[in-house]
């Protein structure tokens, strides 16, 4: 009579192979993971630019309102083209009548520095604070699809009124603001030039 010993199959052998396979996959992933990362591009700014994340809360609030106002100003221009057939940029009085912040004189306007708003050229608006507290002087250029916002951050000096140098013969130029000490706001998703 032959006797044969049969060992019970408890899955130990297969479990060892599965554990070895998992460890191998994790080791390969740990080794290759650094090579799969995307390198973040560090944007370098010109001396006339400032990242939005480095601005104070007052300026951030003003910029948020200006970005919304930019969209409304562009919509008003588009409406004038479609309805009247002519390109017309909204005046300050029209923006106030539409209750478009930051152009209206309300409590928020007082808290931000009581800005005196001027339309210095088609699609170019400048706000000069009348108080030392609040947001800095600002210029909004709505000519392009994306807003171009400039700040005069040195509150110790009186900002140059961009409207003083912009005439019909001398159109608005960013160079004028740069020479006067203004800073262009760079948004996280915009290109730096």
Could you tell me the pLDDT band of residue 159, with boundaries at 50, 70 and 90? low
pLDDT at 23: 95
Global pTM? Answer: 0.70
The dihedral over CA atoms of 183, 163, 158, 180, expressed in degrees to the nearest 10, equals 40
pLDDT at 192: 46
Return all residues near 40 (Cβ < 8 A) that are at least 6 apart: none
* Closest to 172 measured CA to CA, from 116, 136, 121: 121
CA distance 109 to 103: 8
Check residue 172 and give its pLDDT. 72
Give the integer Cα–Cα distance in Å for 125 and 64.
Answer: 15
Instruction: Write out the two tokens for 166.
Output: 């912009």
Mean pLDDT, the chain, rounded, equals 83
Give the integer Cα–Cα distance in Å for 148 and 83: 27
HEC string for the chain = CCCCCCCCCCCHHHHHHHHHHHHHHHHHHHHHHHHHCCCCCCCCCCCCEEEHHHCCHHHHHHHHHHHHHHHHHHHHHHHHHHHHCCCCCCCHHHHHHCCCCCCCCCHHHHHCCCCEEEEEECCEEEEECCCCCCCCEEEEECCCCCCEEEEECCCCCCCCCHHHCCCCCCCCCHHHHHHCCCEEEECCCCCCC
More confident residue, 42 or 66: 66
Contact 125, 142 (CB under 8 A): yes
Q: Give the tens place of pLDDT for each residue, 94-130.
A: 989 889 888 888 888 888 888 889 888 888 899 988 8
Q: Are 62 and 135 in contact (CB under 8 A)?
A: yes
% pLDDT > 90, the chain: 22
Lowest mean pLDDT among 28-32, 38-42, 153-157: 38-42
Distance CA 79, CA 71 (A): 12
Higher-confidence position of 99 and 38: 99
| pLDDT tens string 57-79 | 888 999 999 999 999 999 999 98
């Amino acid at each position: 009579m032959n006797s044969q010993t049969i060992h019970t199959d408890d899955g130990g052998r297969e479990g060892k192979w599965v554990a070895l396979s998992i460890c191998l996959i994790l080791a390969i992933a740990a080794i290759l993971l650094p090579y799969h990362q995307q390198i973040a591009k560090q944007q370098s700014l010109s001396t006339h630019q400032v990242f939005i994340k480095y601005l104070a809360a007052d300026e951030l609030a003003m910029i948020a309102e200006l970005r919304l106002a930019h969209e409304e100003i562009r919509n008003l221009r588009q409406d004038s083209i479609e309805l009247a057939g002519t390109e017309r940029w909204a005046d300050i009085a029209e923006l106030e009548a539409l209750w478009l912040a930051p152009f209206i004189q309300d409590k928020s306007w007082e808290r931000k520095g009581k800005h005196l708003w001027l339309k210095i050229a088609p699609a170019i608006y400048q706000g000069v604070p009348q108080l030392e507290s609040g947001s800095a002087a600002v210029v909004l250029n709505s000519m392009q699809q994306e807003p171009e916002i400039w700040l005069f951050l040195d509150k110790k000096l009186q900002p140059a009124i961009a409207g003083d140098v912009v005439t019909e013969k001398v159109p608005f130029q960013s160079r004028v603001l740069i020479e006067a000490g203004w800073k262009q706001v760079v948004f996280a998703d915009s290109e730096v030039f």
